[in-house]
Structure 1
Amino acid sequence: MFQRTWFWIAVALLVQRLQASDSVLREQIINELISSKHYKATDRPEADKPTLVRVNILIMALFSIDVRTMDYKMDMYLRQRWVESRLAWNTMAKFSGYNSSIVTPKLKESLWLPDLFFRNGKEGYLHKMTQPNYLLRLKPDGDILYSQKITMKFSCQMYLQTFPMDTQKCTINIGSYAYTSSELKFYWQEEKAIEVRDLQIAEFLSPRYYNNTDCTKDSRTTTGEYSCLRVDFELKRQIGYYLATTYIPNSLVITVSWLSFWVDVDAAPARVPLGLLSLLAILTQAASVSSVLPRVSYIKAIDVWLIFSIVFVIGVLVEYAIALTVIRSRKTQHWHHDVRKIVHNELTKWCTACPEDQALEAVKNAVSWNMHPEVGLEGLLADQVKDLVQKNSTNRTKPTHCEVDVYSRFLFPACFILYNCFYWFYYLVLVEILDQEARPNTS
């Protein structure tokens, strides 16, 4: 038992000594490699030809897609690999036996690094919890891996003509800021250039594909041609949120406004507030939608819907004005005819000997809005005609059947259904077909 204990103590001491020796050796390699006589951080790895840097991106999250500012945010790991022959120690005899990679933050301040930047980036930062999130790994043959975890906000030019059934095409544009393509060349890693975790994006479907290309030929400026890489992907908006907050509520408000067609035309205190409240609800929803969208100079799909919603509700108010005018005109005509007949009969009954000019004057006055057919008559005849006309004038307050309301009960729903068919067919089917035909083949 005592011998076994001493054995394990000896093993532990040996391991500790080897680890200490390994740490000392790594420190010696680093000091040797970055010494001024072998290496200068201001110089590129190879002065006579462009430095080749492989790029790989691992996308962890895509969020905060804002149509007002037309940008989005992304969490990702940005990885760059290149060969630095000046930092290869496997060709040095005294270090040739050390084949492990060296990982140390000390190297970053002492090495030449590619000046990669995001061309369409608005702002960004390197994660620093709990330590700055970057990795610099050096292999014996001089191969360097430089990895960073960063959050970037990218600009994305959005076209909202079909909002909220739109599909936006966004990009990540990478390039060299100072070195021209003859000095520094970025290129995508051969396999898995773009890696993606399972993304859950609010309001959007996860992108179906990521198309990585070399855009160097399009990055020429007045100061030269610079290496450029681009990632293209599509964000298709999910309409469910807008169905629940805009389309369905608007449809219900329009449907409620049709209840006025079943209310009597003379019931203005019931019909007018119903139409006005429906119009106010639609306008409030329109203002709410407009507040979260940019002030673009073209009409969006949701604008078309809101405009026609307002038109349908205003149509209900206009229909009531027409129905009221028709029914009042009809009642006036009927009332004039009835009063004329009554006065004529009474004149025949009570005053067969009345002068003809008095009879005509009484008939004329009987159909006036002031309803005073007794003017021009005298005595008992005037009193009888006045009482009879006042008695029959009460018929004007009785409900009257209106064909305009009857037709509207079927015409308005039919027009709304027809409009929905055209609207959804155009934006969900026809626009999608045209978009697919215009989309370049990425296979």
Structure 2
Amino acid sequence: MELFAWQKFIHFFCLILLASSALADAEIGKESAVRQKILKDIFKNYKKHDKPNEHSVTEVDVNMKILAIFSIDVLTMDYFIDAYLRMRWVDPRLTWNNDSGIEQVVSPQLKDKVWLPDLFFRNGKKGYLHTISQPNYLMRLMHNGTLTFSQKITMRYSCQMNLKTFPMDNQNCKIDIGSYAYQKNELNFIWDRSKKDGRKIELDTGELEISEFSSLKPEDFITTECGTTTGTGEYSCIEAKFVLRRQIGFYLATTYIPNILIIIVSWLSFWVSVDAAPARVPLGLLSLLGILTQANSLSSSLPRVSYIKAIDIWLIFSIIFVIGVLVEYAIALTVVRAKKANLWHREVREIVHQELVTWCSACQQQQLLEMNQQPGYQPGLDAPNFCDSLEGLITQHVVDKNDKSKVAVKPPSSTESEVDRYSRFLFPACYLLYNFFYWIYYLYLVNFIETDNLNQTNKR
């Protein structure tokens, strides 16, 4: 008996479930039918090519959520952005009474049925829409005629860069949005007014990490509304400006530090004898070749601009310092050779005069001996001096024949050059002084001036 009661209860419960499911399906079907009827009614006489508010200005609220900024290229002066682009406007022709409980319709197919603002990126170079696995866009229609259109885009924007302080530079870039066909009295773009915090640009994370540059925060984006006049009329536009602050770490590791080490290695020639030309000359030439290779590699990745960049000044002075090492060697070698030549001439003169004195003394003794052997020679008479004609030459160089130290050849002096001794301190001191002024100027003074100019521009 109890088993039969349980079977009846289970059957009754299943019937209730089936009835509930049928009622839910019927309700869904009814809601779907109501939605289809609403869409049919509002699009019955709708013309998608006609602008809403034909005789007044249509205002479009714009908002962007930036997912990533990447591929910032100084050679082509552009950058890429992945973002969600959102637009919101009111089309009075698409309103309906929400007594039916249907407050909104979300359907991708609405995109092909309604009028859309002709938004374009004024500084855009190239872009594409994401279509995997379906076209990435959202179309929402509210009962009061408010349309929200959102799509994921990847855009390549131009950014005119000033590279005078590269790689310690700050680049002012922007996202410039405007209307292509509708004039300002027909269509007006404004940044999203629903954002109470004033941040019109959203970021996917708290900070946006950018390779080679400092991270960006939402408050780093400055949004403004503008207008532009062309030959066809005056058009509405909006801008989002931001500053890309380059981090110097990469260039320190790949350019500056290797360059400094090459300069230091070139100074080793000051400790090498000036007679060792096969060691000193190749050392200077290899240092020069290393810097020129660096400069050539760097110039291939930078645009051909008409002004000198900070990195150019660094490389130019590096080349000057290395060439200075080679010039110093030429001067040191010339000075040492001149000293050796003077020493050699002095030693030759001393030897020649010593030989002349010895020869003259021998000649006098031989003459006296011959005169003593002649008949009628009187010893009290002075014998003629055969060395009188050489007296003017040997007066300053007469050497006592018993003083052997005065005629001994001096030992060869060291080939170390005084020019090298001075250069060991002069070159590093000049290089340190140059580095001091270079880094002070580009890291502090120029950055301070650029920041001040940027603040004044933003105030305007």
Contact kept? 2:120, 2:178, Cα under 8 Å: yes
| 1:437, distance to aligned residue in structure 2 (A) | 2.0
Q: Separation in 1 of the partners of 2:75 and 2:449?
A: 26
Aligned pairs (5 A) from 1:411-422? 411-422=426-437
Q: Separation in 2 of the partners of 1:10 and 1:16?
A: 10
The structure 1 residue matched to 2:41, chosen from 25, 32, 37, is 32
SS at match of 1:86: helix
Q: Separation in 1 of the partners of 2:388 and 2:339?
A: 29
Contact kept? 1:282, 1:306, Cα under 8 Å: yes
Structure 1 residue runs without a partner (length 5+): 364-388
| 1:392, distance to aligned residue in structure 2 (A) | 6.2
Whether 1:200 aligns to 2:209 is: yes
Q: 1:150 to 1:358 in 2, by over 3 A?
A: farther
Aligned pairs (5 A) from 1:391-410? 399-410=414-425
Contact kept? 2:209, 2:216, Cα under 8 Å: no
Q: 1:358 to 1:123 in 2, by over 3 A?
A: farther
| More displaced 10-residue stretch of structure 1: 403-412 or 8-17 | 8-17
Q: Separation in 2 of the partners of 1:23 and 1:339?
A: 120
Whether 1:148 aligns to 2:151 is: yes
Identity of aligned residues (%): 56
SS at match of 1:416: helix
Contact kept? 1:264, 1:399, Cα under 8 Å: no
Give 4+ residue runs of structure 1 displaced > 6 Å after superposition: 354-360
Partner amino acid, structure 1, of 2:447: E
| 1:137, distance to aligned residue in structure 2 (A) | 0.2
Q: 1:357 to 1:319 in 2, by over 3 A?
A: farther
| 1:346, distance to aligned residue in structure 2 (A) | 1.6
SS at match of 1:59: strand
Give CA-to-partner distance per residue, 1:126-166, whole Å, 9 cap, x none. 11111111111001111100111100000100000000000
Give CA-to-partner distance per residue, 1:354-388, whole Å, 9 cap, x none. 9769979x99xxxxxxxxxxxxxxxxxxxxxxxxx
Whether 1:68 aligns to 2:84 is: no
Q: Separation in 1 of the partners of 2:131 and 2:223?
A: 29
Compare CA radii of gyration and give the structure with the larger one: 2
Q: 1:82 to 1:296 in 2, by over 3 A?
A: same
| 1:121, distance to aligned residue in structure 2 (A) | 0.5
The structure 2 residue matched to 1:210, chosen from 199, 221, 237, is 221
Q: TM-score, normalised by structure 1?
A: 0.88
Contact kept? 2:259, 2:318, Cα under 8 Å: yes
| 1:401, distance to aligned residue in structure 2 (A) | 2.8
Whether 1:341 aligns to 2:350 is: yes
Partner amino acid, structure 2, of 1:405: D
Give CA-to-partner distance per residue, 1:293-323, whole Å, 9 cap, x none. 0000100000000000001111110110000
Q: Separation in 2 of the partners of 1:356 and 1:255?
A: 61
Equivalent in the alignment of 1:434? 449
Aligned pairs (5 A) from 1:85-96? 85-90=92-97, 96=99
Q: Separation in 2 of the partners of 1:426 and 1:144?
A: 53
Aligned pairs (5 A) from 1:98-109? 98-109=101-112
Q: Separation in 2 of the partners of 1:427 and 1:306?
A: 15
| 1:5, distance to aligned residue in structure 2 (A) | 2.3
Whether 1:258 aligns to 2:267 is: yes
Q: Separation in 1 of the partners of 2:60 and 2:81?
A: 22
Q: TM-score, normalised by structure 2?
A: 0.84
| 1:9, distance to aligned residue in structure 2 (A) | 2.1
Whether 1:17 aligns to 2:15 is: no
Q: 1:358 to 1:55 in 2, by over 3 A?
A: farther
